């Protein structure tokens, strides 16, 4: 069986650094200097799942796609080193400011341009935007079924896909047919490590870059202009806490605490 798999991967700010992030007071955008970016954690699982399918079906081509700035090449390079056959970067200033629908449209157009695709794998959720909308929207735009919250999947020779989804209070088992889109959770697998051979072979693989023109879309169809939602404003919420140490017997401390809260207008 010949299989074409697309894996959508996104570069995100390392969640370990979310705590210390600050905003540019002028533009309201995140100051990214010295903040490391990584491959969105569950996208690693999506990629691993694609590689496992490829392990079972020899004639499989994996294409990793990312929409993002030029730096997103790093995660595509990583995907190539892990075993993806090709990588596509969707990069154009016109794509900036995209909400989840415009992001999904751009990715869906790229997938269409690739030709016949049997399986699209996404992470269930990006660690930064976290809307969980991009995968299902891609599927809707392409007119194919999708399954989200997927904790296990098995593709058969006849193109049927046995899926296990995590749902509230349990799980749901379902069977779908390719072409379909799957949004995976982290528990689906343990991603493999990149090898030295993988890194070397990635050097021979090219990252294809498509801008709006290359994708065959006009600037009105992508980015902020095509986004039905947008960020109206952003602000930093600073929580200032003052601590007060009370002394005395428990009864005295309770009395002092109540008095303080009353004086602050909190009781």
Ligand X SMILES: Cc1cc2nc3c(=O)[nH]c(=O)nc-3n(C[C@H](O)[C@H](O)[C@H](O)COP(=O)(O)OP(=O)(O)OC[C@H]3O[C@@H](n4cnc5c(N)ncnc54)[C@H](O)[C@@H]3O)c2cc1C
What is the footprint of ligand X within residues 46-65 (CB under 6 A)? 46, 65
**Alpha-carbon gap, residue 201 to 95, rounded angstroms:** 30
Residue 231: CB atoms within 10 Å: 11
- Torsion angle of alpha carbons 99, 34, 24, 42, nearest 10°? 20
What is the footprint of ligand X within residues 88-127 (CB under 6 A)? 96-100, 103, 107, 122-123, 125-126
Backbone phi, then psi, for 52, in 5-degree steps?
-70, -40
Residue 40 Cβ vs ligand X, minimum distance, rounded to whole Å: 5
Among 4, 5, 6, 10, binds ligand X (CB under 6 A): 10
Q: Which of 103/178 has CB closer to ligand X? A: 103
Residue 6 Cβ vs ligand X, minimum distance, rounded to whole Å: 10
Both tokens of 206, joined, read 């090219």
**Alpha-carbon gap, residue 19 to 101, rounded angstroms:** 28
Q: At what angle do helices 73-82 and 196-203 cross, to 10 degrees?
A: 120
Tell me: does residue 191 bind ligand X (CB under 6 A). Answer: no
Give the angle subtended at the CA of 246 by the CAs of 244 and 250, to the nearest 5°: 145
Residue 15 Cβ vs ligand X, minimum distance, rounded to whole Å: 12
Q: Which of 123/191 has CB closer to ligand X? A: 123
Closest residue to ligand X using C-beta atoms: 129
CB 166 within 8 A of CB 185: yes
CB 203 within 8 A of CB 77: no
Among 3, 5, 8, 53, binds ligand X (CB under 6 A): 8
Local structure of 16: helix, strand or coil: helix
Among 1, 85, 114, 129, binds ligand X (CB under 6 A): 129
Local structure of 165: helix, strand or coil: strand
Tell me: does residue 229 bind ligand X (CB under 6 A). Answer: yes
Number of chain positions touching ligand X (CB under 6 A): 33
Residue 232 Cβ vs ligand X, minimum distance, rounded to whole Å: 9
Q: Which of 8/161 has CB closer to ligand X? A: 8
Applying CB under 6 A, which residues contact ligand X? 8-10, 40, 42-43, 46, 65-68, 96-100, 103, 107, 122-123, 125-126, 128-135, 229-231
């Amino acid at each position: 069986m010949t299989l074409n798999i697309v894996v959508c991967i996104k570069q995100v700010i390392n969640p370990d650094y979310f705590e210390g992030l600050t905003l540019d007071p002028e533009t309201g955008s995140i100051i990214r200097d010295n903040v490391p970016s990584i491959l969105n954690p569950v996208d690693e699982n999506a990629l691993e799942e694609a590689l496992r399918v490829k392990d079972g079906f020899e004639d499989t081509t994996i294409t990793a796609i990312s929409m993002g700035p030029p730096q997103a090449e790093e995660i595509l390079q990583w995907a190539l080193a892990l075993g993806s056959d090709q990588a596509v970067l969707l990069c154009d200033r016109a794509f900036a400011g995209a909400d989840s629908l415009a992001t999904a449209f751009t990715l869906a157009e790229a997938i269409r341009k690739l030709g016949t695709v049997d399986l699209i794998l996404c992470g269930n959720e990006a660690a930064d935007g976290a809307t969980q909308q991009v995968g299902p929207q891609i599927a809707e735009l392409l007119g194919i079924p999708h399954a989200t919250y997927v904790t296990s999947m098995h593709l058969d020779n006849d193109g049927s896909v046995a899926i296990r989804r995590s749902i509230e209070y349990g799980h749901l088992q379902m069977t779908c047919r390719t072409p379909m889109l799957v949004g995976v959770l982290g528990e689906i697998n343990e991603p493999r490590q990149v090898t030295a051979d993988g890194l070397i072979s990635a050097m021979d693989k090219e990252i294809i870059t498509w801008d709006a023109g290359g994708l065959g879309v006009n600037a009105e169809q992508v980015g902020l202009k095509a986004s039905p939602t947008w960020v109206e404003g952003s602000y930093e919420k600073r929580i200032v806490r003052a601590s007060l140490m009370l002394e005395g017997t428990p009864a005295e401390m309770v009395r002092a605490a109540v008095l303080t809260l009353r004086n602050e207008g909190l009781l």
